[in-house]
Amino acid sequence: MRFLVYSISLLFLIRCGSGILPFSPFNKKESNLNELLLLFLIPQNSYVWNLPPGFPTPVVPASNPMTQEKVDLGRFLFYDRKLSGNQTQSCASCHKQSLAFTDGLTKGIGSTGEVHPRNAQGIINVAYNVRQTWVNPTLKDLEDQMLVPMFGEHPVELGLTNHENELLDRLRSENRYQSMFQKAFPLGDPFTVSNVIKAIACFERTLISGRSPYDKYLYDGNISALGNSAQRASILRGAQIFFSEKGECFHCHGGFNFTETSIHSGSVNAEITFHNNGLYNIGGTGDYPVDNPGLFEFTGLASDKGKFRAPSIRNIELTAPYMHDGSIDSLENVVEHYNAGGRNILNGLYAGDGRANPNKNAFVFPIGLTAGEKTDLVNFLKSLTDTEFVNDPKHSNPF
């Protein structure tokens, strides 16, 4: 009873403009009294994160606090093909647990067979992303990003445009979902598109990977996690290249999540950066393929051609093919690309020397690694594979 009185008192203070919350819920179109009450009737720190050593607490939107009920519902929805217009695909169709939630394809294929222009990013540790997707600078939260695969038409992915009511009717028709939606969203009509999105976002925020052999060595002091003495020596030599000025890899792929674009509860500020890594230089003009121009697509600035977000490289061994367009097939060839300082395409539609791209990041330059050093670097990257995560039943298909 005291908690309820306290919650109502807080609600009154907000209405009086005390500024307790970092946003004004009354300015949001979808806000209503029920949703606002939930911010207080559900304690904001009640969700218990199961975080690996060295991992900070993720930032969660105040409008979608974490609850186990939403996580459980989101897991079912993530794997349910009812979430595509023609019921042929689910979120998991392009984000498979065994592949660190990528799909193994060069470019994603939507529910209608339309090919996506970019490679499907893994969704591990998305709770820490400053921005979602490869290149869109406006998609901050998962709740916003999810609108793209669900309702986007260029290309069509899940193809739910004009099928919203049909989707909700499908979900209402199942006894399982009647109970799960009510538990996850106890106030008002639980069957809304907004609630579908919120539940999936909560589940995706639990997809946190940080127990690779290198993590166990680094945080647990478990030397044997890196294999025998020869394997361990190779991995640590590779780590030295990665984290040194010789390799320069850590500038874009540093920190606990192996990407510079991370945010968490202790962040003072969050960097939003995109980079050109010399993958293309069509005709020597700095151009990239027209269907994949990079940040230029949003800014119109010539200097932004070919710039993409550097993703986390955790579990990179499992996420081939690589780059934003899946144009590099193996981890060995990724290392070769950076060792050369970019890619020189001699013939064809995309001919041009990416090494000379005028927009290329200054940290991408010929390194001159020996064959042995390249092997060491690959071995280090493979040591970031978290087999516990990709086999964890908490994240698996519940059907």
Task: Give the whole-angstrom CA distance, residue 139 versus residue 147.
Answer: 10
Sign (positive or negative) of CA dihedral 72, 78, 84, 86 = negative
At residue 73's C-alpha, the angle toward residues 4 and 83, to 5°, is 135
Task: Give the whole-angstrom CA distance, residue 64 versus residue 199.
Answer: 9
Task: Give the whole-angstrom CA distance, residue 108 versus residue 117.
Answer: 8
Which residues, listed in sequence order, are joined to residue 282 by a DSSP beta bridge?
287
> Does 249 belong to an annotated binding site?
yes
Three-class DSSP category at 277: coil
3-state SS string over 85-146?
Answer: CCCCCCHHHCCEHHHCCECCCCCCECCCCCECCCCCCCCCCHHHECCCCCCCCCCCCHHHHC
Q: Where are the alpha helices (DSSP H) in the chain?
A: 2-15, 33-41, 68-78, 142-145, 147-151, 164-172, 175-184, 193-205, 213-220, 229-242, 296-299, 331-340, 371-382, 387-390
> Does 16 belong to an annotated binding site?
no
> Does 202 belong to an annotated binding site?
no
Helix, strand, coil % in the chain, rounded to nearest 5: 40, 5, 55
Torsion of CA 70, 76, 80, 85, to 10 degrees: -10
> Does 253 belong to an annotated binding site?
yes
Three-class DSSP category at 196: helix
Residue stretches of the annotated binding site for heme c: 91, 94-95, 249, 252-253
Residue stretches of the annotated binding site: 91, 94-95, 249, 252-253
